[in-house]
Each structure stands twice: as C-alpha cells, then as structure tokens.
C-alpha cells in the first residue's frame, strides 16, 4: 500500500469535513520561503499557485476539489504547507491571536471550547461561520485578526518559517465547531452600508466652483472600480451634461478623467519597482552554465517566454494566419501545411479590433474548428461594455491581461492588435518602451510566446512588391528592437486570389526564412464566399524554384547589359538574403560574373 505524507493524510481529512484546502509555499532549510523571493512578505504562508480570479473569487480548480486533486498537489510538492480557505466556502471563521499582546487583548473575553491550533507564536480558534459575510479583517483587537471570506489560514501539519509546527491543541481537534461568542458576533456583523460620500447639494445641481471637484470625485471612484479611461470619460460626460450647470466643455471633462486615471495607471514595469526593498547583490550571478538551456518555440515561429511582432498591411491576412496557426496547434502534429511540426499547444487569442460575431464569421469561412479549451478568446469590446480596462499601457489593463493568461495558461498568447490594446503614442520611443517592456514582462510572467499583431506603414500600390524590412513597421523602432522575432506579411494579388508572403525580418535564434500562404474567394454551391488558407513553406529556400526564377528573370530581361542584384530581387520578389546566396552560387558556377565592388557592384550573364 502506498503511504501518504502527513500533509495528504490531514488534507484528505479536512476535505471530508467540508473544508477547502490549498497547497502553500513552505520554508526551505535556509529559512527562506520556497517562492524564492528574497523579500517574501509571508514566508511559507501563501499559496503555491494563483488561487483567485480577477474579481477575487477562488479559482474553480480549488472550489471543486477531490481526493485525487489533493493527492496530486502534494505528490507534486511533497513539502508544501497546508492551507484552509476560510469563510462561507468551508463554513469556518478563524480567530488568529498573535503572541502575548493578542492574548492580552482577549484576556477578559468569553471564548467557548472549539478546535484550536497552536502556531508557535499564537493560537488559531476555529468557529462555525455565521450567517453573514465575515470579511478577512486585521486587528479587530490589538494582535487579533479574523480569517473569513476571501482569506485562508495555515493549518497543521504545516511548518512555520521559525521551524515551529502548526499543531492541534490536545483534545480540541475533534470538538464540534463552536458558534462565535456574542461579543465577537457583534464586532463582525456588518454595519448599515454607508452612502457614497460624494458631496452633492440638495438641489442635485452642481454649480460653478464645484463642478471640477464633483467630477474629479466621481472619476476617482470609477477609477478605483477598475474602469478604463474610455469608460470614465463616457460616465463623466453623462454626469456633466445631466448635473453640472453650466456644463464643463468636453475637453475639460476629458482632462479630469485623464488626471484621475493617471494614478495608478502607469505601466506596470514602473510601479512594481521596489528599489528601497531590494538587495541588489541577490541579482549577482556566477558565470558558467550548469544545465542544458532549452528555448521552446511555438510552431518554429515564436519563442516561449519572449514577445514577437507580426506586422502587415490591414487586410494582409495576419489575423487569418494566426487563426490557422492556433487551430493547427490545438491538435499538434503537422502545422501550417507542413511549415513545422509541433506538440499540441494552447492559445489565448485576445482580440482588440473585432467583436465575437465577426471573428466567428471568419472562423467559419476558413472552416476552422478552434477547439475549446485549447483555443480561448477574449474580446475587448466585451470588456469595454463592462467598463473594464484591457490594455498594456495601464496597470489595471495589464493586470487584467496577465490574470486572463494565468487562467488560460496558453503556450501562445496573441494580442490582436497592438494598436487596439495600448493607448500610448505609437511613434514615441520612450512611451513605446514601457509598452514593450510590458510585453516582455507578460511573456516572462506567463512563459507564453506573446505575439503582438502590428501594422506596416502604408505604401503606394506600385511599391507593394518591394521586399519589406524592419523599417516598414509602423511607429517607434522600439517595438521591433525589443522583440525576439518579427515577421512581415505582404500581399500580392493574382488570378488565383491573394498570395501572402510571410517574411522573417528578425530573429534571435532562427535563420531568417520566408513562406507564403494563399487566400481565395471561391464561390461554392451555396454561392457563399470561401476563404482558403494554403501554406507553402519556404518556396525559395526549400527547393530550386527561387534559383530558377532568378535565372529566368535575368535571361528574359537582362542578358544584354550589366544589372544590379537589387533589381533582380525586386522583380522576382525574392529576399535580399536569399538572392545574395543565389548570386554567390551562380558566380561560383560561372553563370554570372561580378563587375566592381561595394555599392556600385553590377553583374552580367556569362554567355
């Protein structure tokens, strides 16, 4: 028979009692917390994994738990401490009495016999949860805290960072839970809700001299509720029109909203700096690499843990390509019609430009299944209609995206598009730096390959066939500078439909390559338009067609006079890098002859 650890034994028992358990971090032998943060504020006392959703609810994987879950958690982390979620969910409220001062606070209070834990420094008294909400509250009396709804308590047989073991007081574990004593019940019972304290005269009309304060106060409360700047502006405009006399101008109202939402909506990178608490020496690393380092790519296109950029003209097929990619990744195996082979992977698609029905329409047209749960979508317009932020340029918007990613656990996280999911000036390098650092951080914190879908500069129709480069990405150069890879999608129209050329513009690890895919609008029997996506991998590099195209182009139009390589590259649509390789090859084989050097280099066909 397999023997279980003490943690599993106790956790299963608590679970049978209807208590919701959760694995916690634990103290290491060196006295540090297993979370390995040098300045962990509650060592050995906080959950191992994310446990709450955006709105503060316990995540479903903990809310509904079986014995098998519990065994799995502690066989993955045999040393994990054991926590119990307090409040209505487990039917318990715990009074946490800390040290001598805490004991002093309750010295003449009535406390019935009830299950009690000694913690080393103090005591935890377990009571039956009352019929009202008991919020987690700190210091209801000096050094006495309440662990109620939304909280948790560290339970036996956990180990305290001091080395003390959490233990049931002899003979109390099997006692029935006592009701809260009357004095404590009185103390915890919620008072009558107080009205919002925004001052508003009896007439309901806000006159000159009070309008700014009034609107600022409303904007502040909207901001605290996590509403986006757009939602705050809309709410204030309405308030301004209906209550202020005379109303402020629209731009004044907008300025108020901006001034309020500036705090704390700076980029997360900025506000999470804690220089005063950080010992920089903990960042000093010895040289040498002991373990094999593996960089994991998604579909051989994007690196996990980093962000990439996929840029193209509007309507260039960027989103279609990403939809096809996540559909293929869901199943794994051959992806993008042979472009790469991949294990099954999960995608979170954050759509900032289109609503759900438009995306569904595209998915149906492409005959994709985008199966749940491997593919999950978030639509920005649904967030906006709830007044919530979903952008990389505010702290709240960022934390919402991070929260979604933590719940969905994607390998690939698509942000379509960068422009719709951030509000800073795209052309301002320093503004974009914070956005790009947010992208990097998002990739690092989630371990996902983050892909920002981006735009190329508008070009004249006649220039559309020119090979694109990083310079063609719209906005600040910072966007591509901090990216681990960047791709550009170009479109060529021909009699078969549209040919999309996907060119690797930059990569930290992979050699640059190019592949194409094709979209067609065909008319089926139901006279419906059909969108086909047919990916051809590396048309130039994988076979000899690129070379054939180059030699045919030279023979057809340049056999009489010397020519520049760039002209041939342009006429064939073949990349600079690849045409250079082909030319070297042709010179080596005596097909071409080089004339001159440097910028003036010309070539001629050897007859």
Cβ distance to Zn ion smaller for residue 78 or 171:
78
Of the CA atoms within 13 Å of residue 267, those in its CB half-sphere come to 20
CA–CA dist 428, 261 (Å, integer): 20
Minimum separation from the CB atom of position 83 to Zn ion (A): 13
Question: What is the token pair recorded at 320?
Answer: 């279609």
CB of 404 to Zn ion, least distance (A): 24
Closest approach of Zn ion to the CB of residue 168, in Å: 25
Backbone angles phi, psi at 342, to 5 degrees: -150, 150
Instruction: Give the nearer residue to Zn ion in terms of CB position, either 45 or 324.
Output: 45
Element (H, E) at 557: helix 545-557
Name the residue nearer to Zn ion (CB basis): 48 or 320.
Answer: 48
Smallest separation, CB 42 to Zn ion (Å): 6
Please state the closest distance from residue 38 (CB atom) to Zn ion, in A: 10
Q: Please, are residues 146 and 96 in contact by the beta-carbon 8 Å criterion? A: yes
In the complex with Zn ion, which residue's Cβ is closer, 77 or 104? 77
* Piece of 38-46, 150-158, 277-285, 307-315 that binds Zn ion (CB under 5 A): 38-46
Per the omega criterion (within 30 degrees of 0), is the bond before 264 cis? yes
Q: Does 40 bind Zn ion (CB under 5 A)?
A: yes
Q: Which of 396, 301, 397 is nearest to 347 (CA)?
A: 301
Site string for Zn ion, 533-562 (x = CB under 5 A): ------------------------------
Is residue 410 within 8 A of residue 448, CB to CB? The reply is: yes
- Give pairs for 207-214: CB < 8 Å, separation 24+: 207/244, 207/245, 208/246, 211/240, 211/244, 211/247, 211/248, 212/248, 212/256, 214/243, 214/244
Residue closer to Zn ion (CB basis): 40 or 175: 40
Q: Least Å distance between CB 304 and Zn ion? A: 25
35 vs 384, beta carbon nearer Zn ion: 35
What's the longest Cα–Cα distance across the chain?
109
Q: Which stretch binds Zn ion (CB under 5 A): 31-39, 306-314, 346-354, 580-588?
A: 31-39
| Residue 374 C-beta: closest distance to Zn ion, Å | 32
Stretch that binds Zn ion, among 27-35, 63-71, 197-205, 235-243 (CB under 5 A): 27-35
Check if the beta carbon of residue 307 is closer than 8 Å to that of residue 483: yes
Helical segments of 169-286, H only = 182-188, 211-224, 229-243, 250-261, 268-271
Query: Which residues, 6+ apart, have CB-to-CB distance to 89 below 8 Å?
Result: 20, 58, 63, 149
Q: How many residues bind Zn ion (CB under 5 A)?
A: 4
Nearer Cβ to Zn ion (33/303): 33
Interacting span for Zn ion (CB under 5 A) from 22-30, 93-101, 121-129, 434-442: 22-30
Secondary structure class of 335 (helix, strand, coil): strand
- Assigned token pair, 393: 């340029």
Residue 35 interacts with Zn ion (CB under 5 A)?
A: yes
Q: Which stretch in 25-33, 252-260, 368-376, 444-452 sits in contact with Zn ion by CB under 5 A?
A: 25-33
CB of 282 to Zn ion, least distance (A): 14
d(CA 4, CA 95): 30
- 160 near Zn ion, judged by CB under 5 A: no
Residues with Cβ < 8 Å from 473, sequence gap 6 or more? Answer: 309, 311, 454, 455, 456, 457, 479, 480, 486, 488, 505
Look at residues 60, 575, 530 and name the one whose alpha carbon lies nearest to residue 320: 530
Instruction: Identify the residue among 11, 21, 25, 434 touching Zn ion (CB under 5 A).
Output: 25
* Helix segments in 83-228, DSSP class H: 99-105, 182-188, 211-224
For Zn ion, the closer of residues 25 and 506 by Cβ is 25
User: What backbone phi and psi angles, to 5 degrees, belong to 348?
Assistant: -110, 120
Q: Of the two residues 51 and 586, which places its CB atom closer to Zn ion in the complex?
A: 51
Closer residue to Zn ion (CB): 47 or 156: 47
Which tokens sit at 97?
């009495």
- When asked if residue 33 is in the footprint of Zn ion (CB under 5 A), the reply is yes
Going by DSSP bridges, is the β-strand pair 347-351/375-379 parallel, antiparallel, or unpaired?
A: parallel
Minimum distance of Zn ion from residue 40's CB (angstroms): 3
Q: Minimum distance between the CB of residue 41 and Zn ion, rounded to whole angstroms?
A: 8
Among the residue ranges 21-29, 168-176, 181-189, 349-357, the one whose residues contact Zn ion (CB under 5 A): 21-29
Question: Hey, which residues does 604 pair with through a beta bridge?
Answer: 593
Beta carbons within 10 angstroms of residue 400's beta carbon: 21
Choices 20-28, 242-250, 478-486, 537-545; region in contact with Zn ion by CB under 5 A = 20-28
Pick the piece of the chain touching Zn ion (CB under 5 A) from 35-43, 126-134, 275-283, 384-392.
Answer: 35-43
- Candidates 28-36, 238-246, 302-310, 488-496: pick the segment binding Zn ion (CB under 5 A): 28-36
| 384 is a site residue for Zn ion (CB under 5 A) | no
The nearest distance, CB 36 to Zn ion, in angstroms, is: 8
Closer CB to Zn ion, 35 or 178, in the complex: 35
Looking at beta carbons only, is 174 or 277 nearer to Zn ion?
A: 277
C-beta of 25 vs 318, nearer to Zn ion: 25
- Please report, as ranges, the residues that interact with Zn ion according to CB under 5 A: 25, 33, 35, 40
């Amino acid at each position: 028979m397999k023997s279980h650890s003490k943690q599993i034994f106790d956790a299963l028992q608590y679970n049978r009692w209807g208590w919701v358990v959760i694995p916690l971090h634990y103290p290491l032998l060196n006295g540090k917390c297993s979370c390995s943060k040098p300045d962990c504020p509650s060592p050995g006392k906080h959950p191992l994994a994310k446990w709450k959703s955006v709105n503060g609810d316990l995540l479903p994987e903990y809310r509904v738990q079986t014995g098998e879950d519990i065994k799995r958690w502690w066989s993955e982390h045999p040393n994990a401490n054991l926590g119990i979620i307090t409040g209505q969910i487990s039917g318990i409220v715990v009074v946490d009495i800390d040290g001598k001062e805490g004991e002093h606070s309750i010295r003449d209070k009535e406390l019935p016999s009830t299950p009690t834990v000694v913690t080393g420094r103090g005591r935890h008294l377990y009571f039956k949860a009352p019929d009202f909400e008991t919020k987690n509250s700190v210091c209801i009396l000096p050094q006495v805290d309440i662990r109620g709804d939304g909280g948790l308590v560290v339970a036996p047989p956990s180990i305290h960072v001091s080395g003390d073991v959490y233990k049931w007081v002899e003979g109390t574990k099997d006692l029935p839970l006592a009701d809260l004593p009357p004095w404590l019940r009185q103390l915890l019972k919620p008072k009558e809700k107080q009205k919002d304290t925004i001052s508003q005269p009896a007439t309901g009309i806000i006159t000159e001299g009070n309008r700014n304060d009034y609107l600022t106060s409303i904007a502040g409360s909207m901001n605290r509720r996590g509403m986006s700047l757009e939602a705050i502006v809309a709410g204030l405009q309405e308030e301004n029109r209906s209550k202020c006399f005379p109303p402020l101008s629209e731009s004044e109202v907008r300025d108020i909203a901006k001034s309020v939402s500036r705090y704390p909506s700076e980029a997360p990178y900025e506000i999470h700096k804690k220089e005063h608490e950080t010992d920089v020496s903990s960042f000093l690393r010895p040289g040498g690499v002991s373990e094999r380092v593996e960089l994991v790519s998604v579909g051989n296109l994007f690196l996990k843990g980093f962000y990439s950029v996929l840029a193209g003209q509007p309507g260039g097929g960027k989103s279609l390509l990403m939809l096809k990619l996540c559909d293929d990744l869901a199943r794994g195996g051959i992806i993008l019609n042979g472009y790469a082979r991949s294990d099954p992977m999960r995608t979170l698609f954050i759509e900032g430009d289109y609503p759900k029905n438009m995306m569904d329409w595209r998915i149906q047209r492409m005959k994709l299944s985008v199966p749940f749960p491997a593919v999950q979508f978030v639509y920005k317009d649904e967030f906006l209609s709830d007044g919530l932020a979903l952008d990389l340029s505010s702290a709240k918007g960022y934390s919402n995206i991070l929260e979604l990613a933590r719940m969905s656990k994607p390998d690939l996280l698509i942000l379509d598009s960068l422009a719709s999911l951030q509000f800073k000036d795209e052309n301002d390098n320093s503004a974009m730096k914070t956005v790009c650092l947010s992208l990097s951080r998002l990739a690092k914190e989630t371990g996902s390959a983050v892909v920002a879908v981006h735009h190329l500069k508008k070009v004249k129709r006649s220039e559309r066939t020119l090979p694109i480069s990083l310079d063609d990405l719209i906005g600040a150069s910072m966007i591509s500078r901090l990216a681990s890879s960047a791709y550009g999608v170009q479109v060529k129209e021909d009699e078969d439909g549209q040919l999309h050329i996907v060119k690797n513009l930059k990569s930290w690890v992979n050699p640059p390559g190019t592949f194409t895919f094709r979209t067609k609008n065909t008319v089926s029997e139901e006279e419906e338009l059909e969108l086909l996506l047919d990916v051809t991998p590396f048309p130039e590099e994988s076979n000899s067609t690129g070379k054939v195209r180059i030699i045919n182009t030279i023979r057809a139009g340049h056999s009489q006079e010397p020519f520049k390589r760039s002209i041939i590259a342009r006429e064939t649509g073949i990349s600079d890098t690849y045409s250079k390789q082909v030319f070297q090859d042709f010179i080596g084989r005596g097909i071409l002859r080089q004339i001159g050097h440097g910028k003036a280099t010309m070539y001629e066909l050897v007859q």
